[in-house]
Amino acid sequence: MKIDIKHIAKLSRLKVDDSEIEKFEKDMENIVSMIENLSDLEDTGSLLDKDNSMVLREDVAQNNFKRDELMQNAPQTKAGCVVVPKVVE
């Protein structure tokens, strides 16, 4: 099976150099062929863990973080905001 690395890379928001395409293609095909020889499996029930149903906490707003602490990790800030490239023309 041929895998369209360019398309997958676009979906993944990754740039793949033309020189790397062949390498990734081969890696991917090897990995995919591992699962292709699986026999058909019967769907035997729910995929959720019946013993451990998740309990959600109350949806209450909490003030856990200070703005300036969070902003310290931002790559680029201005006037207390994160700077990003222009999105709307």
Q: Phi and psi dihedrals of 50, rounded to 5?
A: -70, -30
* DSSP bridge partners of 77: 82
Nearer to other proteins by C-beta: 22 or 70?
70
Task: In angstroms, give the least distance from the CB of 71 to other proteins.
Answer: 9
Look up residue 72 and give its DSSP letter.
T
Return d(Cα 65, Cα 39) in angstroms, integer. Answer: 50
Q: Return residues touching other proteins (CB under 8 A).
A: 3, 5, 8-9, 11-16, 24, 27-28, 30-32, 34-35, 38, 41-45, 47, 49, 51-52, 54-57, 64-66, 69-70, 72-76, 82, 84-87
Q: Are 8 and 25 within 8 A, CB to CB?
A: no
Task: In angstroms, give the least distance from the CB of 86 to other proteins.
Answer: 8
Task: In angstroms, give the least distance from the CB of 45 to other proteins.
Answer: 7
